[in-house]
Amino acid sequence: MFELSQYPLNYNKNSLEPYISEHTMTFHYEKHLEAYIANLNKLIKDTEFEGKSLESIIIKSSHSKDTASIFNNSAQVFNHNFFFKCLNKNSEKTLPSKLYSNFRSMDDFKSQFRIIANTMFGSGWVWLVAEAQEYKIVKTTNADTPLAHNQTPLLCLDLWEHAYYLDYQNRRAEYIDNFLDHLINWEFVESCI
Ligand code: MN
C-alpha cells in the first residue's frame, strides 16, 4: 500500500505564493496526488505488482499495454512527488556547474526549457534529464516519465491544466516563466545530478 504520507511536502502549501497559490497546492497535493495513490493501490491489489517499489512498478508496467492503467497511476505518483520536490521559492538561483557542459548559461537553459514547455500540446511534463552523460530537456505526454526511457530525471514541470489553471487560467506561458524565474529548487536539482 502506498500512502500520501510517504510523499511529504518539504514546505508549507502557501509558501510558493504568489506564483502558486495555497488553493492550487491543496488541490494538487491532497486531491490529485492522493487520487493517483488510491487508484494505484486498487489496481495492484492481489497482482504481481503488490509490494513492489514504485520505481519497479513503473518500469515493469511500461512494457505492456495491458498494464497501461498501472503505469499511468504509478508514473503520476512518481512524477508528482518529483515535481513537488523541485519547487522552493527561496532556493539559490545558480545553474549547477555540471550543467555548463550542455548549457551556456542560466539564460540559455531557461530559453531552451521555455521553448519546449511552450510547444507542449495537451497534458504532460517537461524535464531536465541526464542520459549517457548528456544533460537535456525533454517532454513526456500524459503520465509518461523519464524512468521508462532510461533517463535520470533532474527537474520537472507539471503542464497538466490542474497544475496552473486555478491561478493562471489560459496564461500558461506566465506559469512557465514564473517556474523558471522563481520556483526551481536548484539545490534539489544538484542533489540529483
Ligand atoms: Mn499534476
Question: What pLDDT, in 10s, does the model give residues 133-183?
Answer: 899 999 999 999 999 999 999 999 999 999 999 999 999 999 999 999 999
Is residue 70 packed enough to be buried (19+ CB in 10 Å), middle (13-18) or exposed (0-12)?
buried
**What mean pLDDT, rounded, does the chain reach?**
96
Give the distance (Å) from ligand 1 centre to CA of residue 7: 14
Q: What's the sign of the alpha-carbon dihedral 46, 65, 84, 169?
A: negative
Question: Distance between CA atoms of 76 and 163, rounded to whole angstroms?
Answer: 13
CA of 34 to the centre of ligand 1 (A): 11
- What's the rounded Cα separation, in Å, for the pair 169 and 145? 25
pTM, to two decimals: 0.96
Distance 123 CA to ligand 1 centre (A): 9
